[in-house]
Amino acid sequence: MNDRAPHKRCEVQFDYGLRQGRSLALADRPDSFVSAKGKVIAVEKKVAEVNEKVLEHGRVRIPFFHDLMCSFAHGLPTFDR
């Protein structure tokens, strides 16, 4: 193992996450995806479910922010004179 190995592994994991659609909800993700080298990789749903539960604990939820953005999208009263 050399100094670049951890960085390469991180890059591969990032690439797999993009190709798998890791930003999507579990139900919307594909059952498999194709790697950069053309290999078809089957997603292990049970592993993805466990990982999603772990990630869920680390996510920051800001319900107020969503309400605020909706208010801006629909127009707030202006304070122009």
Q: Which residue carries 């996510």 as its tokens?
A: 59
- Does residue 71 or residue 31 have the better pLDDT? 31
50-61 residue pLDDT tens: 888 887 777 766
Closest CA to 52 of 30, 31, 27, 33: 27
Closest CA to 24 of 3, 2, 55: 55
All structural domains of the chain with their residue ranges: 5-74
Note the pLDDT of residue 53: 85
Note the pLDDT of residue 48: 87
Q: Are 26 and 16 in contact (CB under 8 A)?
A: no
SS3 state of residue 41 = strand
Note the pLDDT of residue 31: 92
Note the pLDDT of residue 9: 83
